[in-house]
Amino acid sequence: MDGNGRWATARHLPRVAGHSRGVDAVRHAIEACGRRGVQYLTLFAFSSENWTRPQDEVSTLMRLFVNALEKEVDKLNESGVRLRVVGEMNAFDAGLQALIVDAQRRTAANDRLNLTVCASYGGRWDITQAVRALLREDPTLGAHPERIDEKLLASHLALAFAPEPDLLIRTGGERRVSNFLLWQLAYSELYFSDLLWPDFDATALDAALAWFATRERRFGRTSAQVALAG
């Protein structure tokens, strides 16, 4: 979800106004995905690297996060949304951590839409924490590295509960992954929109989904093999 700052700057508003409109766009995106039967929606809200932004912008983003958790979780619950927050939780203050734990607990029985908010998240962080978790669980692995395979490592990633994404949408005109789901994006279709995140609406989502529907997904096979498999 990129482009909040530019959205605000273009209107001679402070960047925080863009982040606040970004939250509105998140609400609309969740509703639109729910209506379209999307089962997993994973939002990149705040990266490991975003901690290096100016202190006042970081605290504004944290305040918006707290506000959203305080105000939106009831509605998410009523809509059958299961919320998970994935990332380095220890970086958040205790109050925010408690809100996250509570929101996850309250929505845990829902299964209409699995909404994951990646916050204080980086793909490199995730792979690193998975390796640590593996070795913590079985310290003998170090002496038998051949026992580590892709499936075992993947099962320790923070997003192990979710399938790998079919479609990645990045707004804001940049063509890069910026440390998002590095492991899981191996075969995702990548869609880049020049719209700034606050302008990304249901029409824009439909354009992305229509583009996705034209893609042939081969997963390393040939086109003929895919046609044969049906």
Q: Binding of ligand IPE at residue 198 (CB under 6 A)?
A: no
Binders of ligand IPE in range 109-138 (CB under 6 A): none
- 50 in active site: yes
- 111 in active site: no
Phi, then psi, of 59 in degrees rounded to 5: -70, -30
Task: Kindly state the smallest distance separating residue 172's Cβ from Mg ion, in Å.
Answer: 6
Q: Which member of 34, 41, 46, 84 binds ligand IPE (CB under 6 A)? A: 46
Q: At what angle do helices 15-35 and 202-213 cross, to 10 degrees?
A: 60
List the one residue out of 177, 171, 215 whose CA is nearest residue 193. Answer: 171
Size of the site for Mg ion (CB under 5 A): 1
Coil, helix or strand at residue 67: helix
Instruction: Say if residues 93 and 124 touch (Cβ distance below 8 Å).
Output: no
Closer CB to ligand IPE, 56 or 74, in the complex: 56
Residue with tokens 């983003």: 61
Task: Kindly state the smallest distance separating residue 15's Cβ from ligand IPE, in Å.
Answer: 6
Give bridge partners of residue 40 from the DSSP assignment.
114
Q: Binding of ligand IPE at residue 1 (CB under 6 A)?
A: yes
Which pair of tokens denotes residue 7? 């959205």
Which residues are catalytic, by number? 2, 50
Residues binding ligand IPE (CB under 6 A): 1-6, 19, 22, 46, 50, 61, 172, 197
Residues binding Mg ion (CB under 5 A): 2
